[in-house]
Homo-oligomer: A and B are copies of this chain.
């Protein structure tokens, strides 16, 4: 397994030089305290923990996996101790409300930590990650009593949480779920049903596990408008707030799955478990969606993390492994062969990973900055605009970065040849772990419909225009800079085409609703390449400026320019294929009859 090394220089580049996080934090309540020195210290400390504690548990966690003993899940050796250190480091409380025991730092800062945790050990990171989603929902929609009961212990990390949505017959379509909630005389509810695919559904790392469970009340309307959300603690807190009576929720089994073996994916049986309604009846799905954007950005991190870790592992191998001679003459004449990094096709695979890791980082931090403003911005207009921009970026970041994260992981594995396929090297684990990213928290197909249907077409293209306007202004500002023409020109052309294609799809969809679904995947991938092109052009502009100003880090900025160039020359052209496919019409998908797919 590659030993993770936090890419601190690049993290700084995106935070400070691309996104000017220092200024940004000054405008966010709680952010004033996040001075550059403090931010730096936090990231350094986090990096150390991820490199030294979490990274060594990544491969062992995969090999050992989780086990179910006497109805309780046992996490892989070392996870429990690592989680203890994670709590002691104060990481769960970093961005939580100060009045509930949190440190009140901006949410985007926790994204940086999430990136490092997730890259070092994704399976581990899912335990606090899921907890975070549960906590956010309780914080926004729970009663004061519920908040006081659960949040301080969840913020401290003593208790963790889950989100229980999926049932065996329904995932994307939660409207048809069967779990039931019957009101009890004391105001609580009896929850019954089987939930599957519950990440971190049970484990031995915390004193209590707080399940958020979607279920239907007896009088529930049909479909998604009849879903309520309940808090169902594994141990019902006693009068002192300590874990009390064991609730009747039990682990049916741990799923055997392709990857993320270090995280327990549970079947949970709720057998008349005591639950407490959150907010109003039948509003459950809305409550879930409140924080879905941020949760999905959290999942997008998996794509970035897969690309980063695969890049680190394959880069090290490519410098070390010797095979064949460079076509342009021996580069290591004293050795038996040249290191494979001299070969252009190996470089193509490395650069693809690099462009996706660094570009993905820029995309996620950019989105996280919008999330800061959307949740804590002082100005109503700014909050609204940031929220809408985040809504536009979220499905792109989630689906595009997890799809390309799988690609990057596969490229990393491919660099190692046969050794990549062998478990010992750890590269195939990255592929197996990454592969869930395009599925959970809404599949790529669901994100694509969300983007094209809900976000773009339902706003008559307004959400797209909000973004393309930014791109347009950037292109205009630097249109005279000849050094940047290789980036600005194709970006400006792309930006125009983006609008044109969207208009075309809008018209087509007016005539045939199926056109939306038929175009959605390609539209999303196309948009992903566009957002990344904008960010790479922005990064190139920063690098170009630094080089012109004079810098002691010429190599760093040159590498940025070279990676931007690689992206524009070798990756952005893929968008053309998506453009052609998206406007090719729904007929080539819908004409074939269901029974004629196979004979």
Q: CA of A566 to CA of B597 in the docked complex: distance in angstroms?
A: 12
Cβ proximity bits A422-466 to B, threshold 8 Å, 1 near / 0 not: 111000100110011011100111001100000000000000000
Residues of B within 8 A of A596 (CB): 555-556, 558-559, 562
Residues of B within 8 A of A339 (CB): 594
Cβ proximity bits A535-558 to B, threshold 8 Å, 1 near / 0 not: 000000000000000000001101
A593 in the interface, Cβ–Cβ < 8 Å?
yes
The A561-599 residues at the B interface (CB cut-off 8 A) are: 562-563, 565-566, 569-570, 573-577, 580-581, 584-586, 588-599
Contacting pair A585 B599 (CB below 8 A):
no
State the copy count for this chain.
Answer: 2
Q: CA of A212 to CA of B424 in the docked complex: distance in angstroms?
A: 26
Q: A592 with B351: in contact, given A166-B418, A345-B449, A439-B420 (CB under 8 Å)? A: yes
In the complex, which range does the number of interface residues on chain A fall in? 35 or more
Q: A444 with B414: in contact, given A517-B344, A585-B569 (CB under 8 Å)? A: yes
Q: A258 with B599: in contact, given A562-B592, A570-B588 (CB under 8 Å)? A: no
The A226-281 residues at the B interface (CB cut-off 8 A) are: 255-259
A171 touches which of B323, B342, B428 (Cβ 8 Å): B323
Residues of B within 8 A of A197 (CB): 418
Min Cβ gap A585→B in Å is 7
Contacting pair A588 B566 (CB below 8 A):
yes
A376 in the interface, Cβ–Cβ < 8 Å?
no
Q: A312 with B350: in contact, given A256-B423, A328-B514 (CB under 8 Å)? A: no
Min Cβ gap A37→B in Å is 21
Contacting pair B444 A328 (CB below 8 A):
no
Residues of B within 8 A of A344 (CB): 514, 517-518, 520, 586, 589-590
A348 touches which of B428, B518, B563 (Cβ 8 Å): B518
Min Cβ gap A559→B in Å is 4
Q: From DSSP, what is the main secondary structure of chain A's interface residues?
A: helix
A292 in the interface, Cβ–Cβ < 8 Å?
no
Contacting pair A258 B562 (CB below 8 A):
no
Q: CA of A556 to CA of B589 in the docked complex: distance in angstroms?
A: 16
Q: A428 with B258: in contact, given A414-B443, A555-B596 (CB under 8 Å)? A: yes
Contacting pair A327 B410 (CB below 8 A):
no
A335 nearest in chain B by CB position? B176
Among the interface residues A345, A420, A576, which one has the most CB atoms of the partner chain B within 10 A?
A345
Contacting pair A432 B566 (CB below 8 A):
no
A168 nearest in chain B by CB position? B419
A341 touches which of B172, B580, B594 (Cβ 8 Å): B594
Q: CA of A432 to CA of B410 in the docked complex: distance in angstroms?
A: 11
A478 in the interface, Cβ–Cβ < 8 Å?
no
Contacting pair A172 B598 (CB below 8 A):
no
A574 nearest in chain B by CB position? B577
Q: CA of A140 to CA of B99 in the docked complex: distance in angstroms?
A: 81
Q: CA of A322 to CA of B172 in the docked complex: distance in angstroms?
A: 10
Q: CA of A418 to CA of B170 in the docked complex: distance in angstroms?
A: 10
Given contacts A347-B590, A556-B599, 17 further A-B contacts (CB under 8 A): A173-B322, A173-B324, A173-B337, A175-B337, A319-B594, A339-B594, A347-B589, A351-B592, A354-B597, A413-B435, A417-B439, A417-B443, A556-B596, A559-B597, A565-B588, A569-B588, A573-B581
